Amino acid sequence: MAATKESDSLDEQFYKPADAFFRAYSHIGLTYDDVTLATLYSEVLPKDTQLGATLAEGLSLNIPVISSDMDTVTESRMAIAMALNGALGLIHYNMPEREQLSEVSRVKNHVHGLIQEPIRATPDQLIGDMLSLIEKKRFAFSTFPVVDGQGKLMGLLPSHVVKHRYANSKVAEALTPRAQVHTLNKKDLGHDPIATADRFFTDHPGIHKLLVVDDQDRLAGLFTMSDIERIIQERNAQFKPARDSSFRLLCGAAVSATRNAFGELDRQRILAHVGGLVERGMDVVAVSTAHGHSRGVGDTVRMLREAFPKLPIIAGNVTSAAGVEFLAGCGANAVKVGQGPGSICTTRIVAGVGIPQLTALYLAEKAARKMHVSIIADGGITKSGDIVKALTLANAVMCGGLFAGCPEAPGEVIEISGKLYKRYRGMGSLPAMKAGSAARYGHTADPTSKVAPEGVEALKEVSGSVDRVLAQLIGGIQSGMGYLGAANLSQLREKARFIRVSPAGQREAAPHDVVELKTGN
């Protein structure tokens, strides 16, 4: 039941809408933990809330989350997992340009359910070699297609022979020969490859792997029955994959404002590379730098807008209304907001610059509304509650640390004292800048030049898959929206009421005075 006028106006004195709240705190920079959101009368169940967000014409996500363009976060595997969940990945640029083109192609050509580059064995390897590989890479499977030097299918090494007792046998002696292996020609996959594979498994009881070959009988992929079953179950999921108009997964890529040997913007190189990315189907380009309110970034955005009038452009990073207005004026559709909030960032310590994230988002949102562009809250998000708070002002969030421990992030798992970790480093850390990201921070990649790193190298504990991490985050976002009676993200922005939290209030917000049990959540 809705409340009386009197109690409504009492609440209004304490729980303020964004304008009244942030203007009252114009003398202090606030971030996620500094505020909390008031609950409101609700007729909305969390499970019924909609999380769709349009960031630009032609760029709509089913969940408003983007994985950071960092070399320890987003390559094609991460971007595929994000898009399959309705989100977006931005491929980083710390790699040769040719490789970034291939990474985008991998996402755009991804056939869900088909493992396009299965781990293979060759006939002259020993079964012991395969066992070592499984152990080293921590594979959860032990069936391998066997190919010759030209990639031609020779057979299948079934899991029941990949055992220590056969370690000294050659793969050639133990494989199921080509003639007995079920395959499908790539061109017979049809419009719905999942349905084709599903029919195959139904028609062939006991067969759990289906190999795909090309006209020359070269291995082109592998379906497993368990993947297909999971995908069919997930088809009823609330949040559908993020796809383009040709049903391909969405994919973004980042570029920097690269300079030539004379210190001028390398226009030809940037235009040629972005042209290549567009040809491969890239859905959005991000001009990603530490200081977006600058001439070089503005010129880059203007040049790309002119050359690619319809291409959605993300640009950043900024933390002021003027910064958003500038980039929007140059032609950006979405502006990244965040300077120094990231878990691996040291910009505020090294340069003494940057604004706590919620205050920055408030100012950015004011300008974004005026300029009809979107904003993306980039960095500093450590829990789903932060995302709910960010989405009261921003159209989407960008996260690095939350995904860096997932198996889909680049890099190997490292074991230290029995615990498993993955490397996570700032793009402004010295090794990342040497690997290519120096331009993002306005430096050259010359290792002899004196530069102050603005990021650290770190470890993240290995986490569950992107599916699992996102499921937890989405659950939290939907829960927050239910508390505010917000059925969708624009209602969340409209309804949000803020109050400042004291240090004691912050302590009260987390589990306290208990010994917490690890429940695997």
Site for ligand XMP in 202-231 (CB under 6 A): none
The two three-digit tokens of residue 239, written as one number: 């949040």
The distance of Cα 226 from the centroid of its chain, to the nearest Å, equals 25
> Binding residue for ligand XMP (CB under 6 A) from 298, 385, 428, 436?
428
Which lies closer to ligand XMP via its Cβ, residue 221 or residue 426? 426
Which lies closer to ligand XMP via its Cβ, residue 155 or residue 401? 401
Name the DSSP letter for residue 116: S
| Greatest distance between any 2 Cα atoms in the chain | 84
Give the whole-angstrom CA distance, residue 57 versus residue 79.
20
* Residue 352 C-beta: closest distance to ligand XMP, Å: 12
> Binding residue for ligand XMP (CB under 6 A) from 118, 331, 426, 482?
426
Of 130-138, 217-225, 266-274, 397-405, the segment contacting ligand XMP by CB under 6 A is 397-405
Each residue of 194-218: b (16+ CB within 10 Å) or e? bebbbebbeeeeeeebbbbbeeebe
* Residue 318 C-beta: closest distance to ligand XMP, Å: 11
- Beta-ladder partners of 89: 67
> Binding residue for ligand XMP (CB under 6 A) from 114, 391, 427, 462?
427
Instruction: Please give the span between the terminal C-alpha atoms of the chain, in angstroms, as a whole number.
Output: 34
Give yes or no for residue 400 binding ligand XMP (CB under 6 A).
yes
* Short-list 90, 85, 91, CA closest to 61: 85
337: exposed, middle or buried (Cβ count in 10 Å: 0-12, 13-18, 19+):
buried
The distance of Cα 355 from the centroid of its chain, to the nearest Å, equals 24
Choose the catalytic residue: 77, 280, 425, 440.
440
* Residue 310 C-beta: closest distance to ligand XMP, Å: 26
The two three-digit tokens of residue 444, written as one number: 């050259």
Give the whole-angstrom CA distance, residue 357 versus residue 342.
10
* Residue 296 C-beta: closest distance to ligand XMP, Å: 17
> Binding residue for ligand XMP (CB under 6 A) from 55, 63, 70, 387?
70
| x/- letters, 354..393, toward ligand XMP (CB under 6 A) | ------------------------xxxx------------
Give yes or no for residue 196 binding ligand XMP (CB under 6 A).
no
Cα angle for residues 266, 455, 79 (degrees, 5° grid): 70
Report CA torsion sign: 97, 98, 99, 105: positive
The distance of Cα 363 from the centroid of its chain, to the nearest Å, equals 25
Site for ligand XMP in 306-345 (CB under 6 A): 317, 338, 340, 342-345
Give the whole-angstrom CA distance, residue 302 versus residue 79.
26
> Binding residue for ligand XMP (CB under 6 A) from 68, 72, 183, 478?
68
Choose the catalytic residue: 345, 399, 406, 425.
345
Binding residue count for ligand XMP, defined by CB under 6 A: 24
Give yes or no for residue 87 binding ligand XMP (CB under 6 A).
no
Helix (H, G, I), strand (E, B) or coil at 321: helix
* Short-list 283, 336, 288, 281, CA closest to 88: 283
* Known active-site residue 440: yes
Give yes or no for residue 410 binding ligand XMP (CB under 6 A).
no
Which lies closer to ligand XMP via its Cβ, residue 193 or residue 323? 323
Cα angle for residues 489, 494, 498 (degrees, 5° grid): 105
* Residue 297 C-beta: closest distance to ligand XMP, Å: 14
Which lies closer to ligand XMP via its Cβ, residue 250 or residue 398? 398
* Residue 508 C-beta: closest distance to ligand XMP, Å: 24
Of 7-15, 385-393, 394-402, 466-474, the segment contacting ligand XMP by CB under 6 A is 394-402
Which lies closer to ligand XMP via its Cβ, residue 311 or residue 430? 430
* Residue 387 C-beta: closest distance to ligand XMP, Å: 11
> Binding residue for ligand XMP (CB under 6 A) from 254, 363, 399, 406?
399
The two three-digit tokens of residue 290, written as one number: 């530490």
Helix (H, G, I), strand (E, B) or coil at 95: coil
Cα Rg of the chain (Å, integer): 25
Q: Which residue has the tokens 């070592």?
A: 132
Q: List, by residue number, the catalytic residues.
A: 345, 440
| Residues binding ligand XMP (CB under 6 A) | 68, 70, 317, 338, 340, 342-345, 347, 378-381, 398-401, 426-429, 454-455
